[in-house]
A and B are shown apart, each in its own frame.
Chain A
Amino acid sequence: MTDLTQLGIKPLRDGVAAGEFTAREVAEAFNAAVADASALNAFIVTTPDHALDAASKVDADRAAGKALGPMAGVPIGMKDLFCTQGVQTTAASHILEGFVPRYESTVSQKLWDAGAGMLGKLNLDQFAMGSSNETSHFGNVSSPWRRTGTNAPMSPGGSSGGSSAAVAARIAPAATGTDTGGSIRQPAAFTGICGIKPTYGRCSRWGVVAFASSLDQAGPMARSVEDCAIMLGAMAGFDPKDATSLKMDVPDWAAGLDGNLAGKTIGIPREYRMEGTDAAILDSWERGKQWLRDAGATIVDISLPHTKYALPAYYIIAPAEASSNLARYDGVRYGLRDLPDGAGLQDMYAETREAGFGDEVKRRILIGTYVLSAGFYDAYYTQAQKVRALVARDFEQAFAQCDLILAPTTPTASFPLGENSEDPLAMYLNDVFAVPASLAGLPAMSVPAMQNEGGLPLGLQLVGRPFDEQGVLNAGLAIEQRAGFSAQPDKWWC
């Protein structure tokens, strides 16, 4: 019998539908793989019964001749930023340790409705703040990849590092991610998988622990472009419970996939050729251009002149929103409460938040509080919003000349855990190519391109016009078809 864990969303779903194997067999195979892979620390909690129950329902529905959903029989990993009813949801923080929601996030509910089951809650950077999965209260996630000839544990990227590690290690066929400033794309690039952040507003934020509301977007992380298209279709859709949700129909992206890019123009932003970018990354970019040309597209140079201001602006706006969004974790109603004897309300706040938040979260709360303070607001927050508008205008102007933008996803390949953890600025630079599309709310995807000399995966990023997920996916498909990326990490973890 085939190793079911080698299959992605589409072959699993189609195999279940065709009766080649049962959904329960699929769930059991992945549950076993998850149980064997604790060395990766990809999951905070596992939920094998959830996966089995969903699978049994799919099998019963199939036996009864009922129509099956687009994710039927596919067990997935759920980033632990999505609230899941009856299952602990922590955002990888101590302050929410033990918190069990009595509600289900819109996105996770849509996935269950589409026939998916849950293998468990995936580890992440605490409150999605981080680019290496080293800020989790529940320990670092190890990438399944290692640099050739070394045993140093590598970063799976962040913040969706549990998601990327699980999908790359074949212990989950797909996983949810969230992307605020690269948190889907950068880990996808680091681990040789696909991940798409849709247009802001495509996926409901209801029930997703908030980091920076104006930037947070959920999206799928999977092994192929087609799998991303299928899963994104199941996640997206208007939600009246989210005021920033897009009131638009969800196209059938999977059905619309087409790798022929004849007539398409691809822009190459000159400002993304930055100092400190790996030679291998630049090489992958060159290859990417050729692949898209081979797919029929025209390549043009474009300019995104405000690119260098995007990262600083992001690190004002995102912490500002976070400092306010995280105020609710105060020890009053749920989660951690640290109330020393005789302490008053202010002491309770201070003790609870001191004990409950990790260093990176505290750093961002402090930055955010500072930039919103009286006397600094205009100099930082207002200015950053202006930059954000200019970055968005850059893209608008660029899209007058091209249909899509091709760029590297990250300036470097994955790095060993611990290498950047003492230097926040070096860590923040990881997202330098990812952040502009986040500020502009644009759909953006990372697809695997090649391996560097150390055998580590590199990703290419495609950025599209608002609502043009289809264009992004199609160009992603064109790259996927030509890159022929099939490398898998050695299975050292079990």
Chain B
Amino acid sequence: MSSYRIHGATGDWEVVIGLEVHAQITSNAKLFSGASTAFGAEPNTQVSLVDAAMPGMLPVLNAECVRQAVRTGMAIEAQINKYSRFDRKNYFYADLPQGYQISQLYHPIVGEGSLTIDADDKAGIPEDKIIGIERIHIEQDAGKLMHDQHPTMSYVDLNRVGVALMEIVSRPDMTSPAEAGAYVRKLRAILRYVGSCDGNMEEGSMRADVNVSVRKVGDPELGTRTETKNVNSVRFVMQTIEFEAQRQVDLIEDGGTVVQETRLFDPGTGTTRTMRSKEDAHDYRYFPDPDLLPLELGEDFLAECRASLPELPDAKRARYESELGLTPYNARELTAEVETFARYETLLAETARRAGKSEAEVATQVANWALSVAPGVFKSLGDDADPAYATAQAQAAILELQAAGAISGGQAKEIYEIVLKTGREPGEIAETEGLKQQSDTGAIELAVDEVIAANPDKVEQYRGGKDKLFGFFVGQTMKAMQGKANPAVVNDLLKAKLG
């Protein structure tokens, strides 16, 4: 249970949150027409006769969109409904050419499922938590009104009309902004793993309707909820909840009541305002779309969908811990994003191949490199780094040199810097730039002997029990070797000679 509370004048309040996430289905063509779905085209250039709702035009279902919705449902271990149906949601608006949106009210394609948000102490999520997902249904997107093109008229862009969306409806299982944020991030990761949505919130590929209500801690009754529409980033979702929860508590404590209504989020101020109240709510007059037959899914189709599913975040994370021996932290960080694990797995395979070792043997080294060393170097270079040079081959070559003791950790960073700036080969850089450490026992032994000879008093103190001085001898030896001695060899020799 989240400990998120609104401290009101009359006591503590808790928040109940449900999210309806609209995710644009990755497909080349729209849900019921052959028009393209590419983002950013000139207005009204991706509009078919069907999208423009010309007289006599009919929708024909795009099977790829169905496939993606089913795969998504499978990824959240939801019930897949072999029988589903499309309904018309009727209302008039200039961005809705048909005068209705084709959606699925009565028989959605995906039923009950869930996802797990991960424990995150810093965010106030003490343990993993399962968030119920009530349903996923498929529906059409609407177009876009443009009010800034003409002093007295509004323009309509129909490019988005008919683009396929999944509406993913959660249970009201979240109790803090952090949980809601974690839910959206996890859902986004799953969609991107599955490849059913690119999750690009800036381009509107994913947006959330945020349902918020408050109640006194321990009250079993749910409060009246508001729905804030089309919130398009994780941060805004969290801000919406923070603002709405506080607003509702203030309202109730001032003697008012929360009105069930639709609200809008203003990213500029971080506040929400009324869009329309329940009294103005549309009567959508849903009924089954007579232009479309019920959608019936066969076993073969379902089997194909299941077989095409990749390893999903939770499974991957568990495997990273159990098979690769990574820490829970590393496993979580590496599996949070598709790009992160993809880069990691490529580098892991390449490093193991070069070293002639199993992946498990090099997994931790590669994980540390991929999560902290490499991004650190990259970030420090800023615009000087060319991402094209950040190849798995180059990085694996560096890791191989380091594992073999030929270079130190510091040298690895320096070499990677040069790689990112120039694209030169790591082995060549190590040679040419003198970025190699000395593992030759003879040279190091000579340096060790000199350090011991030059510091008889310290030797005496060390031998008298002042263990901390060992670091001093290591430092002196490394200094004498201009930092290029293999620290392990230095340690061994010093220990042997100091006794």
A residues with CB within 8 A of B: 82-83, 89, 91, 96, 99, 101, 103, 105, 205-210, 212-214, 240-244, 320-321, 323-324, 326-328, 330, 332-334, 345-346, 349, 369, 372-374, 377, 381
Q: Which B residue sits closest to A216, measured CB to CB? A: B290
Complex CA distance for A91 and B55, rounded to whole angstroms:
10
Closest Cβ–Cβ distance, residue B3 to chain A (whole Å): 40
Residue of A nearest to B154 (CB): A345
Q: Assess whether B481 is interfacial by the CB under 8 Å rule.
A: no
In the assembled complex, the Cα of A369 lies from the Cα of B287 at a distance in Å of 11
Bound form: Cα–Cα A208–B55 in Å: 7
Q: Measured between C-beta atoms, what is the minimum distance from A191 to chain B in Å?
A: 26
User: Which residue of the partner chain A has the closest CB to B88?
Assistant: A324
The reply to whether the CB of B56 lies closer than 8 angstroms to some CB of chain A is: yes
A-B contact pairs, 13 of them (CB 8 A): A83-B56, A89-B55, A206-B56, A206-B58, A210-B55, A241-B60, A243-B291, A320-B287, A324-B90, A324-B99, A327-B92, A332-B156, A333-B52
Contact B94 A345 (CB under 8 A): yes
Q: Is A332 a contact of B94 with CB atoms below 8 Å?
A: yes
Q: How far is the CA of A374 from the CA of B285 in the complex (A)?
A: 7
Contact A209 B99 (CB under 8 A): no
B54 at the interface (CB under 8 A from A): yes
**B320 in the interface, Cβ–Cβ < 8 Å?**
no
**A328 adjacent to B56 (CB under 8 Å):** no
Cα distance A101–B55 when bound, in Å?
8
Whether A99 pairs with B92 at a CB distance below 8 angstroms is no
Please provide the 8 A-B residue pairs with the shortest distance between their CB atoms, ordered closest to farther.
A327-B99, A372-B285, A214-B290, A213-B290, A328-B53, A207-B56, A209-B55, A83-B56
Closest CB of chain A to B458's CB: distance in Å? 88
Per-position binary interface string of chain B over residues 76-101, scored 1 when its CB falls under 8 Å from any chain A CB and 0 otherwise: 00000000000010101110011110
Given pairs A99-B55, A243-B293, A332-B97, 10 additional interface contacts (CB within 8 A): A83-B56, A213-B291, A244-B291, A244-B293, A324-B90, A324-B287, A330-B92, A369-B285, A373-B285, A377-B285
- Pick the contact of B60 from A103, A240, A333, A334 — CB < 8 Å? A240
B342 close to A (CB within 8 Å): no
Kindly list chain B residues whose C-beta atoms are within 8 Å of the C-beta of A243.
58-61, 291-293
Which of B154, B287, B292 is A372 in contact with, Cβ under 8 Å?
Answer: B287
Contacting residues, chain B, for A374 (C-beta < 8 A): 283, 285
The B282-324 residues at the A interface (CB cut-off 8 A) are 283, 285-287, 290-293
Residue of A nearest to B86 (CB): A243
CB-nearest residue of chain B to A207: B56
| Residue pair A324, B100 in contact (C-beta under 8 Å) | yes
Answer whether residue B57 sits at the interface, using C-beta atoms and an 8 A cutoff. yes
On whether the beta carbons of B283 and A334 are closer than 8 Å, the reply is no
Chain B, residue nearest A239 (CB): B58
A-side binding surface: helix, strand, loop or mixed? loop
In the complex, which residues of chain B have a beta carbon less than 8 angstroms from the beta carbon of A101? 54-56
**Chain B nearest CB: distance from A172 CB in Å?**
22
Across-interface contacts of B92 in A (CB, < 8 A): 327, 330, 346, 349
- Chain A residues contacting B287 (CB-CB under 8 Å) are 320-321, 324, 372, 377, 381
Determine the distance from Cα of A207 to Cα of B90 in the docked complex, in whole angstroms. Answer: 22
Interfacial chain B residues near A373, Cβ < 8 Å: 283, 285
- Mask: chain B, 56-71; 1 = CB below 8 Å from A; 0 = not: 1111110000000000
Question: Is B97's CB under 8 angstroms from A333's CB?
Answer: yes
Contact B54 A327 (CB under 8 A): no
* Contact status of A327 and B90, CB under 8 A, knowing A243-B293, A332-B97, A373-B283: yes
* Cα distance, A462 to B357, chains bound together (Å): 81
Q: Does B49 sit within 8 A of A, measured CB to CB?
A: yes
Measured between beta carbons, the chain A residues less than 8 angstroms from B94 are: 330, 332, 345
Residues of the A chain whose Cβ atoms lie less than 8 Å from the Cβ of B100: 324, 327
Partner of B53, one of A206, A321, A333: A333
By a CB distance below 8 angstroms, the chain A residues around B98 are 327-328
For A210, the chain B residues whose CB sits under 8 A away are 55-56, 291
A324 and B285 form a contact (CB under 8 A): yes
Given contacts A205-B58, A320-B287, contact A328 B97 (CB under 8 A): yes
Interface core residue of A210, A243, A373 (most chain B CB under 10 Å):
A243
- Chain B residue with the shortest CB-CB distance to A206: B58
Which of B58, B88, B283, B291 neighbours the largest number of chain A CB atoms within 10 Å of its CB?
Answer: B58
Candidate in B53, B56, B94, B156 with the most chain A CB atoms within 10 angstroms = B56
Q: Of all chain A residues, which has the CB nearest B158?
A: A333
Cβ of A137 to closest chain B Cβ, rounded Å: 15
Name, among A103, A207, A214, A327, the residue most crowded by chain B CB atoms within 10 Å (CB to CB).
Answer: A327
Looking at the assembled complex, report how far the CB atom of A53 sits from the nearest CB atom of chain B, in whole angstroms.
23
Q: From B291, which residue of chain A is reached at the shortest CB distance?
A: A213
> For the complex, what is the distance from the CA of A315 to the CA of B156, rounded to whole Å?
36
Kindly list chain A residues whose C-beta atoms are within 8 Å of the C-beta of B49. Answer: 103
In angstroms, Cα B49 to Cα A244, docked, is 18
Provide the bound-state CA to CA distance between A240 and B88, in Å: 21
Are A205 and B90 closer than 8 Å at their CB atoms? no
Q: How far is the CA of A44 from the CA of B497 in the complex (A)?
A: 112
Give complex CA distance A345, B293 in Å: 33
Interface centre among B100, B154, B290 (most CB of A within 10 A): B290
Is A208 within 8 A of B60, CB to CB?
no
Residues on B with C-beta less than 8 A from A332 are: 94, 97, 156
Chain B window 37-51, contacts with chain A (Cβ cutoff 8 Å), 1 for yes, 0 for no? 000000000000100
